[in-house]
Every structure is written in structure tokens, then in C-alpha cells.
Structure 1
Amino acid sequence: MIIFSSATKTAALLFSFLLLFMYVPVIAQTNTSSIKGVVVTADGRPAPFVTIGLQKLGIKTVADKNGSFVLEQITAIEDTLYISGIGFIPYKQGLQIAAGTAINLGVIQLQYYTAQLQDVEITGRIAQSYKSDYSFALTKTQSAVKDMPQSVSTVTKELMKDKMAMHLVEVLDDVPGVCRYSGFNEYSLRGLHAENPPLINGLRAYNSQLTNPMLVNLERIEILKGPTSVLYGNTDPGGTVNLVTKKPLQQHEHAIDILTGSWNNFRAQGDVTGALNTSKNLLYRLNAGYENKESFRNQYFAKSFQVAPSFSFVPNDRIQLNLDISVTHTNTVADRGQPGFEDDNNLLSTPIQLMVTQPGDYLKETNVASILSFSYKLNKHISFNSAYLNYITRQQLSEHGIEDFITDDSVYLYYTNRTANTTTNTFTKYFNFTFNTGKINHQLLAGYDYIKNKVDFTQWNGEDEDFGEETGIVGTFSLKNPVYFKRPVDEYEREEEEEDEEEGGFEAEQYYTHGIYIQEQLSIDKWKILASLRQEIFRSTGDDKIADNVLMPRVGIVYALAPNVNVYSTYNRGFDPFEPSARLQVFNEPFKPVLSEMFETGVKADLFNKKLSATFAVYQVTLDNVVVNANDPSNPDLYTQRGRERAKGFEAEANGNILPNLAMSLSYAYNNAKIIESVKPEEIGIIKENAPLHMSSSRFKYNFTKGILKGFGISAGHTQVGRRNTFDANLQLPGYCILNAGVQYSFSRFIVACNLNNIANTTYFTAAYNNISKWPGAPRNFMLRVGYHF
């Protein structure tokens, strides 16, 4: 017989108790259940960070970045599974959960809201695709793109990120009918010069032209084709760029990207969003970015940053309030182009790296945008919307440029020092009424806009007494054998800019404009009709006063050939006075306003189960009193007015994800933009400057989801632009085709990607005024990105 000591008995009891303690949860675990699945969007892409839960048990979780989820520790019960997320129709599914079972629900597809969600855009877009399903910009109401009787092209944040783009100019090459007009922030839209300020969330900002907007806080970029004056007053006849900012999301998301590339390019971006309270009606988002880069251009550099917080307050389904703020600062130089030799139209007589900019030159610009948006639903049929934008620009410019030629390859230099302070205030208020008369659905909109812009402007030009008085010359520079050194700016004699119209001078001015408009959208069976009318009252102050009252109509019609195919036609008129800005103007009397009209017809379709959006448009735009650069190399900011132009052609584009792991963006444009009337008879009948006949672009991205390559992705694309005329009748820019490719690898919450641009190292020119002011494109270059999402 074995006798145990008391210590041994105690140890045995404790051991037995531990075994029992460990065994109890095992028994419990075998009696509990689990549920797992994968949530995807309507177009088959993962739906990350949506909320999944069980109503009765109160258990919930959040899907990971791939849309996968697991609910554990579930007791036997009959319950309802729910899935919710911003921008999705709530999903519910009844479940009978037996004890000790593992339920795999497989793939669950969520549908996007197709009805109007917001009267003004307050909360963010959750879809992740090259395709955008809706826009506010063309009607001031949330409308499906295929239901709008006018062409709208969109660049989504997903395409911006895949291209690793930081500035507007880097992504507009993907838009049909859009190319660069110069090296500044001006473009050719449908062959017509576009230099007006972009809209920010549908509100007029300001365009200093010398810097390019950063993309850090942008959700998407919308290019509204043709005149849009009926809603926004004075706009460019070829089209209007609308920058749509990112809005807060309910779920917490954080992302950071570090990028580096050719020419010591360094970039960093961050994006955080979520709710500030438990009821999730007070939301925030903060976007920030920094860039420090050099260039293949030998005197170019840029240091820029942007900080952009956004707040949304949605206390109930009647009130929506949003505040957007953006502060951007850029320290760089003004790139006036690659100069060539005098009377020599060889584009490569000088290297593409050459700049006349001297060490110590600078361009410093700060832009502050503050936007307050408010929407209130009086009842289910009437809503009131109001928005206000305050946009402040502070610009300082110090630069040397070409005054005149000494010999074929040597030049005199001028020096300019400029300070421009501008303030733009934009108000918009409108009522939205929805009602029915019999079988006809009405959406009536009536509103008022007010825009005021003030420019305070000072400038002085330098002189060196060694070159004589009133010569405007401060030194010399060899284009053939350039030598750069810091010029003695502090020793220059100051020649104050005179306000003499005959000499091309100006004084600081301001303009303001009032707009009253009404818009009706009718729907009956397969037909949709859009009719708008706007009365614009434009005034500018100063010696050269402008006073214009213009009545502008718009009529459009849409017919549904099939559930996902619409045909449309529209007639539109536009108006654009040459408002005061930070540049000189050549005129003996105030410029006449640019007047335009457009006819457009086309087809819009949602293909592949609404995963791909396609548009085909045919158009003709005619405009009178055209304003163009004066083509004066010694004074590159001078403008003059000539006559009538007409652009006609067609555009085709397709964007979306035809497979969950295959994204694509395709475009082609044929545009014939001619000068019909001109103060220079020799210009009549020729193709406009910087207006190619043919343009095309493509981008494909494929992600591997199975096998040993799972997590890898590849991309490829091109940008093609045809031959272009310039302001010099003897100089034509050759066409070009640039090939780009990329590779990426995603794992856990990380992504590593690399893009190679201009693979063939093609030498090309993006735009030119003449052989003195022409802008070469970048040689072969790369960009590497490391991102973390948590």
C-alpha cells in the first residue's frame, strides 16, 4: 500500500484542478461556432474595413484589406448577419447557427447606392476603381455619369496612386482630348486653350499659372467637356477641370506612402480618416504630403508641401455640414522652357537640359483654400444647399530671362521681381425641388452665385548701367556654352513698371460676377431632359473696366436604348471675359469676352455588369474673340486677341475593372481645331497651336491572386500625342508615343511598387510657343513606392 504525504496530496489536487480548468474551455470551445467569408463590391473588388456583425448577440468585427472576416465564439442561435459601410446598401442574411459548427459564407457581394445619397458631397467615396459612377459637377446634383447629356472624364484617386502622381499635370495625359499648352498650368482641351482657374468641389479658385496643383487631398479629378458657363459663369470653352477633395469616412483608416525616384526625387504622403465620436456623425480626414525634387532640367528644383484637413458633421438625415482646408506651399523656379538659337528651328540645337534660369532665381507661392459646405433638407421634396470658398494666393517671383539675342547663340538677360497677392471669394446657394406631375419626374434647381477676385500686384524690372539706361538689360548668357553664377541682383537699378496701356502695362484690379440660374431635369419612361438658363452679370474695376451681361442656355436630352446604354445630345453656350490676373495684357481697349457654343452627341454605356464605363462623343465647339499668347520671347506673359476658332472631332474612352484583378483605362481623341478668323490673314485655315489631331492613352493593371505569384501585380500603358503647330508658323512639334510600365508586390498591410516611365527614352516636347519657349518631356525615369495601410 502506497502512502502519500500531505504535500503530495496537495500537489495532486492542484494538478487535477488545473486539468479541469484547462478542459472546461475546450468543452466550451467545441460547443461554440464561427462564421467566415469574403466581402466584395459590386464590381468584384475587395470591400475592406466594412463592418460585419450579428444583431442579437451584438458580436461584430471589421473586414481586413482583402475583405475577409471571421466571427468567433458564437453560441447556438438563430440570428441575422449584417454588413454595412459608407456608400453600400446594407446587407442582411438570416442564419441558423448550430453548436460547434464552422460556417463559411463564401463571397458576399455588396451593392453601391444608386439613388441620390447627398445633395452636396459630404462623405467620402469607398469604391476603389478607375471608374467613377457619379458626379455632382455637371448638374449640381448627384447624377449617374451615363444619365448626363454631356461628356465627363474622371481620373480617380486609384489611378493617381498607381501612376504615383503628385501634381495635376502628371495625370491629365490620360484624359481624351487634353494635352499641355505650355510648361505652365494651362492646357489644350479639345484643341482650345484653357487657362481659367480650376473648380474645387464646384467652386471657383484661382490660377497663378506658374505652379501646378498638388493631388494629396484629391478623391478624383473631373474634366467637364465643353462650356459649363450655365452653372459656373465664365469658364473655358474647351472644358473645365473640377478638383474633388477627399471626404471623411466612418471607419478608421490610415495610410502612409514613401516614394523616391530619378533626379533625387523624394515624396511622402499620409492619409488618416475615421469618426471622432461613438455615434459616428462627426468625421475627420487628414491628408498631408511633401515633395523635394530636382530634374533633368539643369536649374530646376522644387520643394512643396500640402496639409489638408477635412471635417464632416451629419447629425441626422436632414443636415450635412463639411469643412475643407488646404494649405500648399511651393519653393521652386519658373521654367520658361528650353531656348533654341535665333532663327534656327532645330528643336535640338540646344540640349533639353538647358534653362536660362540663373542661380538664386526663385518662385515662392502659398495657396490657402477654405471651403464650407452645408445642406439642409426641409422635407423629402425640398433641400437647400450652400457653399463658400475663400482662396488666398501669395506669390513671389524673381527671375532672369531672354531680353534679346546678341548673336545666334548668345542673349541679353532681363530681370523681373514680382509680388502678387490675390484673394478669391466664391459663394453659391441653391434650392433643389423634386416632385411629380403625372408620369413625369421633376428635379428643379434654382440658385445664385457670387464670385469676387482681387489682385494686388507689384513688379520692378532690373537694369545694369553698363548696358545703358532704359535697356532692360542686366547681363549676357551663352546658350551654346552656358555658365551659371549668382547674379548681383541687389546691385541692379530698379525700373518700376509703368501703368501704360500702349506699353502693355496694367494696374492691380478686381472683378466680381453675379449669376442667377435655373435648371430643370425631367424624367419620363426612357427619356431624360435637361434644360438650364443663366443670367451672368460680370464687372471688373480699374482703368480698363469690363461690364458684360450675358444670357446663357443649355439643353440636353438622354434616351435609354437599353438598361445600361444611353444616347444623348446637348447644346450649350459659354462666356469667358479675360479677367484680371497676375500677368501683362496687350490691348488698346479692354478685351472682348470670349463667346462659345457647343453641339455634342454621343453614347454612354456601363458594360461587363456595370464594371466598365464607356463613352463615345462627337462634338463641335465654336468660339469668338479668342485670347492667345502674344508670342513675344522678351515678354512671355503678354497676351493678345485675334478672332474665331472652331474645334470638331470625337472622343472615346473606357474605364473600370472588367475583372476584380484587372483594371483598365483607355482613351482616343480625334480633334480638328482650326483658326477661322484672325487679325493675321496668314493664320486663317490652319490648325491651332498645341492642338494635335490625334491623341490616345492606355493603362492596364493586373494583380495575381493565386499561385506562387499571388500578391504581385504588373501594369503597362502609353501616352500618344500627334504633331502640333506652334505660334511660329515655321516650327512644328513632332508627335510622340511614350511607353510606361510598373510592378508591385502586396503582403500583409504593405505594398512595394516601382514604375518605369518613358521606357524607350524617347526625346519629345510636350508643348511650345516657339523655339525660344518650348518644354521637353522627361527622359527615362523611375519612381519607387513603399506603402503601409493600417
Structure 2
Amino acid sequence: MNFKLLRSLMMSLGILLAGQLNAQTNKGSIKGIVKDANNQTVPYAVVQLKGRSIGTTADGNGSFKFTGIPAGEQIVKASFVGYSFQEKTVIVRANETVTVDFILEESNSQLNEVIVSASRRTESLAETPSSVTVIGSKEIEAQSAISPNIANIIAYAVPGLGASTNQTGNFGQTLRGRNVLVLIDGIPQSTPLRAGSRDIRTIDPTVIERVEVIKGATAIYGNGADGGLINYITKTPKPGATFGGYTQAGLTGNFKGDSTIGYRFSQQVFGRSGKLDYVVSGMYEKTGVYRDSEGQVISPDYGLGETKTYNGFAKLGYNLSEKQRLELMYNYFSSNQHSAFVLKNGIWGKQAAIGILGERKGVDEGNRYNHNAYLQYSNKGIIGNTSLTASVYLQDFWTTYSNSLSFYESGQSEIVSTKKGLRANLNSPFVVNNNFTGDVTYGFDLLNDVTAQNLVDGRVWVPKIDMRNLAPYFQLSTNLYKHLTVKAGMRLENININIKDYNTLATGPNNAGSIAVKGGDLNYNALVFNAGVRYSKHRFFNPFISYSQSFSVFDLGRVLRAAKENTISKLETEPIIVNNYEGGFSSELGKFTLSAAYYLSTSKLGSNLLEVNGTYVPQRLPERVWGYEIQLDYQPIKHLIIGGNYAFVEGKGDADNDGNFDGSADVYLNSTRITPPKATAYLRYFGIKNLSVDLNWMYVGDRDRFKPRANGTYAIGEAPIRSYNLWNLAAGYKINSQLKLNLGIENLLNTEYYPTIAQFYGTNENYTRGNGRRFNLTLGYAF
């Protein structure tokens, strides 16, 4: 570990804090409350002193207070997800407290959003020098009416994220052509040590308040965020409710074919009592048989049909004082399939693989369980205006895959991963003068990740990988002349991985083909950086440029299980460091909002998946990935909003390692990584009393970069992808103030299509159609 650097960093922070303590005289205070247009308080609204990088979060009753504020004129800004921000000018006098209250109006503008995931502090999206998509509660609710699968919801909303696979997993659903790190309230869900691609669908949307997607390489949360991160932010109590709740029951199914009917039930209660607030939720869903546009049973392998899903959630908060809060969260998710069907192979490019009645081998597949919990303490003023958030967390995950004939005597594999972590995050604002203010965010992450992949019968496929990581970090954010935000930061990764001796899987009787591999320790140390600039004076043109790095030890398990050497020291275990360069802008022009970004990411080593003699191994080449994204929204009249986005990504590997990616030996990255172009559009109308209608369209384009092998078949990820279009519809009718009826129709036109994963695999067993026309009818009751 680089202790000299860490010691220098801590000394600098100590000097900064000491300076704060000496600057608290002749100051005043600001307090107030934040409400919405219905005169209900807005808990946890973000309140900032504009141009001074001093901010706080309102408490559960919408109240806030600043202390130690310099005397003179100050601009106070209040904002919250789904509302327009509001600014007020106040005069602060020494040793006095001034009161300022806010009333926020609802808004659909992304620039009004506030986020926490980009730099581990609350900040306005308009001041963040990076590319971010926020999916708010209204959009989650509208998309959930069509399909409660969170992988579908974010695929429609996030430019640069691949289309949903229509399966349990998200293999091939990359972000900007690279792997994405998924989190729940900052707790890692991904298993980068043995990438199982079952991290996106690990929580039910009924308990998600919003989703924050940070695009481009980032190291802010550690291992695995080469393409960015997806952070599911769970629900908090609704404003002003002493006790309330929401009950929802529904039916799902296909329009064509029998045995497709399923049902879903959820119950949520929330409230506040004195200093205590809570949200408690439970959900159960049982799906029927999933059928394609022809009424054929969709292959049950890795499927979502005939599945029982459970989600239990609780969040308890206690305000110890005006500045201190204690919060406990727990979420349980489980989704297991018990199917009466078995796979009947198709013919790739000609005939779909389907499910036929039969007895499935092995145990039920799916995510057996996913436990998440944290205990968090926050203090808005431990020293002066320095705030502290400290938390301990746990994630325990177990997933089971379909039976495969690729193993000797066949078998099912399982990934088991347990993460335990401790985080300490501090933020200290500072003022140099009226034109130069800022804040420093700093702290450390301590993580222990233990991951293994065995077969159900006990055979070891990937030995236990025990990773420990201590990572201090430092992020400086400055505001120059109130409108120019400049950020720079670093994170020091100190990773130790221990692997015991193990044997690779036998490929024949009497342990034939098995290799005894001597274990040992792997150590990684790296300092990664980020920097960015955003100019936010004009809402009609809000540009940014950024540079960011990520560090990951990605899919080490795939290397271990395919070992041909007798010791891990001889295996290719070098980490991946990605450099992401990006420029873009956001713009509001009357009723139009527009955002666009272009990016280029490079890495000296990548992890492109190849099939070699029937075994999947990572291809370690220098990589270059590039692309662009555009989002446009327009509100022509009060009750109508239309919009959409388009994303393009491409990537190549430098096979001859000459620094040039356009040589005859250089290769395109395959479609397990690079997704085809994707466009989405939506129309949302709510001009008829008590009725709202959402119409959604998705276009997935072509990608054809590879030639077939000599035998006419394609390697994994290299088969051509042909375009398809999908239309979805959701309608909601509010029967009265408490009762609401929703109807969602997925694949409205009953289009015959093959998801990208079914096409790029190039195999008969994976050539499976997507869902035919499906309905989701729900009745909800609020109290």
C-alpha cells in the first residue's frame, strides 16, 4: 500500500479541517422547510448555498439548517428528484438566524435532478461533469405497468445500455460496450470475480425510488465498473404520512396459448412517528408459461416463465438529533423457476428453439436468494460544516444455472458470493472568496468479497476467491465564478486475493483432463484518477468534458477454471484499467430538452470472450471502444410529453499489438460486449381526467462484423444480429383518490423477434424468440 501518499492526504485534510475550525466566528445561520405544491413536506430534499459548495439534506420533515455561514448576501437553492429547483436570495447577519422556505413544483427535466452516485455526495445533475441518466419513480411506475422486470425498465430508459435478454440473466447487456457494476443503495450486486451476469435483476421495482446510471469508466465504488454503474436507490417514507400504504394485485399472461396466466401481489406500508420513520414492503409473483408470437413455449433454459419471485424490504430511520441520523435497510430477493418443459433445439437462423413437455434434470434454477443489508450513521456537522456518512453492509448472493451437457456427465453450476464492507465518507466545504468555493469528499472503502462457482453435485469449477480491498479516495470539487464546476479525484486500490490449491474439472472418467493447480496470493495496487469540467451558467447550453479511469480484476474465475498451467502465478491474471474520455452537453430550449455525449474508452488489456475448443476464455488484447448517445424530450402542450434516445457503440481489439486498431490483423470486439445500435421513443399523455397513457417503442439495429467458421457456424458472439422493433403500451385509470387500475401490454403488435443474445450466440439451443403479446393488469389501493 502507498502509505506515503495516504499520510500526505490525511495531513492535508487535517489542515483543511483546522482551517475550518478557525473560520467559524462572525457567522450566521439559515434554516427553513421544503414543501411541494400540495403543501406537503419534501423529506430529504437537497438544499445548497449556490456558488459555495455548501449543501445539506432536509430531514424527514423537510426541515434544514445551515450554521457558520458568512455574513452577507447568499443564494439558497432547494431541489429534489422529480421537481423543479427553486432559488431564493437571503441576507445573513452575524450571530443571527434567517428563515427561508421553499415550495417545489413537479418537473420532467433531467437537469433538475439531484444525484448521489457520481461522486458520493449529493449534487445537482446540472453541475455534474459526467454523463448520467436518472430514472425517477414516475417512469419506473409507468414501465412497471408493462413489465415488472427491472432489466426491461432500464433498457428502455438508459441510452448506451443493451436491450434486455428476456432471460434470468443479463449476459450481453453491457453499458457502452463494457461491463457494468450494479448496486443497491451503494452495495455491490455484481460478481466481477466470476461474472455470472445475474446482477441487474436482483431487486423488485416496487421498492425502488429511482435509478442512477453513471456512464463511462468509474472507480468511485471499486471493482467492476469498466462501463459505468447502475445504482438502485430504495424508497424512503412519503412526505407528511404518519401512516400510509399501498396494496396492489394483478394478473399477467400471454394473449395466445394456454397455461400463461400468472399473478402478482405486493403490500407496502410507511410512516413516521416522532423521530422514527419506516418503509416495509413485501411482494410475491408467480408467472405462467411464457410464449412467443406464434404461441410456442419459449425455451425454459434461463427463462422467466413458471417462476416464483419474492421480495421483502424494510428501511428504518431514526433521527438522533437535528444533524444525526441512523438508518437500517434490509432487502431480500429470490426468483426460482420450476418448469414442466425442456428445451427442444431449433435451427439457428431458420427455426426457433422451444420448450416441450418433459422432465427437467437437476434442481430449480434462478437466483436462490439475494440478501442485502446496511446500517448507516450520518452526521451533517461533526466538525464545522464537515459531514460524515459511515456504514457497514452485507450482500449474500446465490444463483443456479440450467443443466448443461458441456460438463462431463452433465451438471448445473452455481455462483455463491458474499460481500462484507465498511465505508466512511466525509465532505468538507471551503470558501476562498466569493468567486472560488468548493468542497472535498474523502474517505475509504473496506471490502471483503468471497466468490466461488461449483457444480450442484459438489465438483469445484471455480475455487473460492477471497478478495480484500482497502481503498482510500479523495475528490475535490470547486465552483469558479458560481457557474464553472471543476472536479478532480483519485482512488488508491490495494487488493489482495487468496486462492487455495484446486483441481480443474475432469473432462472424462478417472479424473481425465483435470489439472492440479497450486494456489497462492495475487496482489494489485493502482492509483486511478478522474477529472472533469462543467459550465452551467446557461440552461440552453450546459457543456462538460471529463476523463475517468476504472480498475477491475474482471472474471478471474473464468481464467482459473480454464487453467492449463499448474500454478496461478503462470496464469494471465493482469487487471483491466480503462481510460474514458468524454464530452457532451445538456440543453433546455423552452419546451425542448436535449442531451448528447461522445466518448472514447481505451484499455491496454481487455476481456473479450472467445470460444476455444468448446471452452470460453477471455481474450486479453488492447481495446478501444467508442460511441455516442442522444436524448431528446419535448412537451408541446401541458398534458403531452414525447421523447426518445439513440445510442451507438463500437469496439476493436489490437490483435498485433502495434498501437493501431485499423490493421488487417485487428479484430472487432464481439457482441457479448458490443451491442447493436438502439433507439427508443415514448409518448406520454395525461390530458383526460384520471387517465394516463404511455406508448413506448424500441428499435434494435443490425450488427454484422464477422464471417462464419470453415464449417459454416459462428463463434460465440460473432453471429449476425438482425434488427427488430417493439411497441409497448401502458394505461392507468384513477377510479377515485385511492383506487387505480393499470393495464400494460408488452409487444403490442405481437412481433416475431429474436433478442440479441439469441442471435449472437449462433447456436441451435440458444435461438429462442422473445415474448409474444403479453398483458399485465393490476389494481392498486392507496391508504
Instruction: Please report the TM-score for the alignment, with normalisation by the length of structure 1.
Output: 0.71
- The residue number in structure 2 matching 1:155 is 135
Measure how far apart 1:716 and its partner are. Answer: 0.7
The one of 753, 769, 774 aligned to 1:776: 769
The one of 342, 366, 381 aligned to 2:369: 366
Matched, 1:179 2:180: no
- Paired residues of 1:88 and 1:111 also in contact (CA < 8 A): no
- Greater mean deviation of Cα atoms: 300-309 or 555-564: 555-564
Paired residues in the alignment total 624
The one of 459, 462, 465 aligned to 1:506: 462
> Could you tell me how far apart the structure 2 residues matched to 1:506 and 1:572 are?
32
The one of 697, 721, 741 aligned to 2:700: 721
Task: Note closer, same or farther for the CA distance 1:85–1:248 as it changes in structure 2 (3 Å cut).
Answer: closer
Task: Note closer, same or farther for the CA distance 1:204–1:403 as it changes in structure 2 (3 Å cut).
Answer: closer
- The residue number in structure 2 matching 1:348 is 350
Measure how far apart 1:362 and its partner are. Answer: 1.0
Measure how far apart 1:781 and its partner are. Answer: 1.4
> Could you tell me how far apart the structure 2 residues matched to 1:782 and 1:290 are?
18
> Could you tell me how far apart the structure 2 residues matched to 1:134 and 1:310 are?
21
- The residue number in structure 2 matching 1:331 is 336
Matched, 1:750 2:739: yes
- The residue number in structure 2 matching 1:762 is 751
- Greater mean deviation of Cα atoms: 328-337 or 535-544: 328-337
Segments of structure 1 that go 5 or more residues without pairing to the other structure are 1-40, 53-83, 91-108, 116-124, 405-412, 462-495, 499-504
What code does the residue aligned with 1:347 have? G
Measure how far apart 1:157 and its partner are. Answer: 2.3
Task: Note closer, same or farther for the CA distance 1:237–1:678 as it changes in structure 2 (3 Å cut).
Answer: farther
- Paired residues of 1:177 and 1:671 also in contact (CA < 8 A): yes
Task: Note closer, same or farther for the CA distance 1:402–1:47 as it changes in structure 2 (3 Å cut).
Answer: farther
- The residue number in structure 1 matching 2:52 is none
Task: Note closer, same or farther for the CA distance 1:126–1:88 as it changes in structure 2 (3 Å cut).
Answer: farther
The one of 432, 438, 441 aligned to 1:437: 432
- The residue number in structure 2 matching 1:309 is 314
Residues 405-420 of structure 1 correspond to what in structure 2 (within 5 A)? 415-418=410-413, 420=415
- Paired residues of 1:620 and 1:648 also in contact (CA < 8 A): yes
Matched, 1:169 2:159: no
The one of 535, 560, 566 aligned to 2:492: 535
The one of 385, 391, 401 aligned to 1:387: 391
> Could you tell me how far apart the structure 2 residues matched to 1:425 and 1:497 are?
26
> Could you tell me how far apart the structure 1 residues matched to 2:613 and 2:780 are?
44
Measure how far apart 1:648 and its partner are. Answer: 1.4
Residues 261-276 of structure 1 correspond to what in structure 2 (within 5 A)? 261-262=252-253, 263-276=260-273
- Paired residues of 1:257 and 1:785 also in contact (CA < 8 A): yes
Measure how far apart 1:623 and its partner are. Answer: 2.4
Matched, 1:225 2:221: no
Segments of structure 2 that go 5 or more residues without pairing to the other structure are 1-33, 43-58, 66-81, 89-103, 254-259, 292-297, 500-518, 565-570, 705-713
Measure how far apart 1:403 and its partner are. Answer: 3.8
1:126-183 superposed Cα distances (whole Å, 9 cap, x missing partner): 9685856010000111111121111011222221211224232111222101114864
The one of 242, 267, 270 aligned to 2:231: 242
Local SS of the residue matching 1:216: helix
1:724-749 superposed Cα distances (whole Å, 9 cap, x missing partner): 35844762121111111232221212
Matched, 1:701 2:680: no
Task: Note closer, same or farther for the CA distance 1:519–1:623 as it changes in structure 2 (3 Å cut).
Answer: same
Matched, 1:286 2:280: yes
- Paired residues of 1:256 and 1:787 also in contact (CA < 8 A): yes
> Could you tell me how far apart the structure 2 residues matched to 1:284 and 1:761 are?
42
1:357-410 superposed Cα distances (whole Å, 9 cap, x missing partner): 82664125111111122211225521111122111124455x433449xxxxxx
Larger Rg: 1
What code does the residue aligned with 2:445 have? D
- The residue number in structure 2 matching 1:470 is none
Task: Note closer, same or farther for the CA distance 1:381–1:237 as it changes in structure 2 (3 Å cut).
Answer: same
Instruction: Please report the TM-score for the alignment, with normalisation by the length of structure 2.
Output: 0.72
Task: Note closer, same or farther for the CA distance 1:712–1:420 as it changes in structure 2 (3 Å cut).
Answer: closer
> Could you tell me how far apart the structure 2 residues matched to 1:626 and 1:673 are?
11
Local SS of the residue matching 1:348: coil
- Paired residues of 1:715 and 1:743 also in contact (CA < 8 A): yes
Measure how far apart 1:777 and its partner are. Answer: 1.9
- The residue number in structure 2 matching 1:203 is 187
The one of 530, 547, 551 aligned to 1:554: 530
Local SS of the residue matching 1:162: helix
Task: Note closer, same or farther for the CA distance 1:744–1:511 as it changes in structure 2 (3 Å cut).
Answer: same
Task: Note closer, same or farther for the CA distance 1:195–1:561 as it changes in structure 2 (3 Å cut).
Answer: closer
Local SS of the residue matching 2:611: coil
Task: Note closer, same or farther for the CA distance 1:683–1:711 as it changes in structure 2 (3 Å cut).
Answer: farther
What code does the residue aligned with 1:318 have? K
Local SS of the residue matching 2:431: strand
Local SS of the residue matching 2:778: strand
- Paired residues of 1:401 and 1:414 also in contact (CA < 8 A): no
Local SS of the residue matching 2:389: strand
Task: Note closer, same or farther for the CA distance 1:128–1:158 as it changes in structure 2 (3 Å cut).
Answer: farther
Local SS of the residue matching 2:671: coil
The one of 716, 719, 725 aligned to 1:737: 725
- Paired residues of 1:337 and 1:775 also in contact (CA < 8 A): no
Task: Note closer, same or farther for the CA distance 1:247–1:276 as it changes in structure 2 (3 Å cut).
Answer: same
Identity of aligned residues (%): 16
- The residue number in structure 2 matching 1:401 is 404
- Paired residues of 1:324 and 1:371 also in contact (CA < 8 A): yes
Residues 648-727 of structure 1 correspond to what in structure 2 (within 5 A)? 648-654=626-632, 661-677=639-655, 684-686=666-668, 688-690=670-672, 691-705=674-688, 710-724=689-703, 727=715
What code does the residue aligned with 2:217 have? P
Local SS of the residue matching 2:224: coil
Report the aligned-residue RMSD: 3.7
Measure how far apart 1:224 and its partner are. Answer: 0.8
Task: Note closer, same or farther for the CA distance 1:51–1:648 as it changes in structure 2 (3 Å cut).
Answer: closer
Task: Note closer, same or farther for the CA distance 1:338–1:787 as it changes in structure 2 (3 Å cut).
Answer: same
Matched, 1:454 2:450: yes
Measure how far apart 1:754 and its partner are. Answer: 1.2
> Could you tell me how far apart the structure 1 residues matched to 2:130 and 2:472 are?
21
> Could you tell me how far apart the structure 2 residues matched to 1:209 and 1:306 are?
20
Measure how far apart 1:444 and its partner are. Answer: 0.8
1:6-27 superposed Cα distances (whole Å, 9 cap, x missing partner): xxxxxxxxxxxxxxxxxxxxxx
- The residue number in structure 1 matching 2:585 is 603
Task: Note closer, same or farther for the CA distance 1:682–1:186 as it changes in structure 2 (3 Å cut).
Answer: farther
Task: Note closer, same or farther for the CA distance 1:396–1:110 as it changes in structure 2 (3 Å cut).
Answer: closer
Task: Note closer, same or farther for the CA distance 1:736–1:436 as it changes in structure 2 (3 Å cut).
Answer: same
Measure how far apart 1:303 and its partner are. Answer: 0.2
- Paired residues of 2:299 and 2:343 also in contact (CA < 8 A): no
